[in-house]
Structure 1
Amino acid sequence: MTTLASLQATLAGEHAAIFAYGDAGAHTSQSAQPELFATISLLYRTHRARRDQLRLLISDRGATPVAAEAFYDLPDPLAGADAVRRQALRTEQMCAQTYAALVANTAGSERGWAIVALTEAAQARVLLGGRPELFPGAPELGR
């Protein structure tokens, strides 16, 4: 995969993550679940910032950034804090996989940026109650 194709795939993943976190935020109560609400809000802002950075990286290469879809299918209806947390964990796993691929397809400062994003996705999984992984985004390397 080319660097540009990998950047575009990562941007597409960020669009999906933003949609998923918007849904999660709508199903989380700031008064009833303040810690979860704060975590979901933080991760929503993080993914929006990454999306914006990816748009710039792609535009700087002279390409048009891939647009977000109008709608994304979500795996489960969110009925409660546990369902919100599961969706957020799946979202971060998907992002970690995308960022691991970006690390493999970039060099220099773009690779450094991808490594930071991959590290933050792995940390977000732990923040959401997930288990640390030996190779975030590429568990097949730990076998």
Structure 2
Amino acid sequence: MSPDDIEKLRKALAAEHAALFAYGLLGARTSGSLRARMSAAFDAHRARRDQLRAFITARGGRPAEPDASYALPFFPADQSLAVKLAVQLESGVTAAYLELAAAQDVTLRRYAALAMQEAVTRSYAFRPAQPAAFPGMPAAAAPPPAPSPSATSSGG
């Protein structure tokens, strides 16, 4: 096992630790269906954390323990800020797994790709709007207007 791969695993694990801390806070500050989505995200990140710890240990590394606290970019004082923070969290987790996707071990590359897909999916599930078009692609066109009754009758 490449020492570089173990370091990439540790970075992904650190991102999962931070996400768990923040989702614990977000779950406590939200309610209803949003809280259920935050709790589901917490559970998904906990499972990923446990898998990463197992990967590191199986490869002879020592997984880092979580910090007692993490600095958040802002305090989620309301539901909209909670959603904004969740989206930022998922972006950070995606970035950590992007680095792991460059691992030498093909198993880790596949694992990272799936983890990134899940994080991006969660991120977009929290956003109220539809995702933007890919760069260079035209935005979805509005449907053409319905023909007016006078335009469809030929008088004939």
| TM-score, structure 2 as length reference | 0.79
3-state SS of the aligned residue for 2:73? coil
Q: What letter is aligned with 2:125?
A: L
Q: Alpha carbons of 1:62 and 1:112: their partners in 2 closer, same or farther (altered >3 Å)? A: same
Q: What letter is aligned with 1:124?
A: R
Q: What letter is aligned with 2:58?
A: D
Deviation at 1:18, TM superposition (A): 0.3
Q: Alpha carbons of 1:134 and 1:104: their partners in 2 closer, same or farther (altered >3 Å)? A: farther
CA distance in 2, matches of 1:84, 1:96: 18
3-state SS of the aligned residue for 1:2? helix
What is the aligned length?
131
User: For residues 81-130 of structure 1, what are the alpha-carbon distances to aligned partners after superposition, in whole Å with 9 as ceiling and x for unaligned?
Assistant: 10100110000000011111110124322211111000001101110117
Q: What letter is aligned with 2:19?
A: A
The aligned counterpart of 2:106 is 108
Deviation at 1:69, TM superposition (A): 0.6
Q: Alpha carbons of 1:98 and 1:134: their partners in 2 closer, same or farther (altered >3 Å)? A: farther
Q: Alpha carbons of 1:128 and 1:92: their partners in 2 closer, same or farther (altered >3 Å)? A: same
CA distance in 1, matches of 2:62, 2:47: 18
Q: What letter is aligned with 1:81?
A: Q
* Structure 2, unaligned runs of 5 or more: 136-156
CA distance in 1, matches of 2:64, 2:58: 14
The alignment-based identity, stated in percent, is 35
Give the conservation status (yes or no) of the 8 Å contact 1:125–1:132. no
Give the conservation status (yes or no) of the 8 Å contact 1:7–1:54. yes
Q: Which runs of 4+ in 1 moved over 4 A?
A: 132-135
The structure that is helix-richer by fraction is 1
CA distance in 1, matches of 2:132, 2:116: 13
Please, what is the CA RMSD of the aligned residues?
Answer: 1.8
Correspondence 1:8 to 2:10: yes
Deviation at 1:75, TM superposition (A): 1.6
The equivalent position to 1:22 in structure 2, one of 15, 21, 24, is 24
CA distance in 2, matches of 1:133, 1:82: 23
Give the conservation status (yes or no) of the 8 Å contact 1:122–1:132. no
**Structure possessing the higher relative contact order (Cα contacts under 8 Å, 6 or more residues apart):** 1
Q: Alpha carbons of 1:62 and 1:132: their partners in 2 closer, same or farther (altered >3 Å)? A: farther
The equivalent position to 2:94 in structure 1, one of 93, 96, 107, is 96
CA distance in 2, matches of 1:97, 1:106: 18
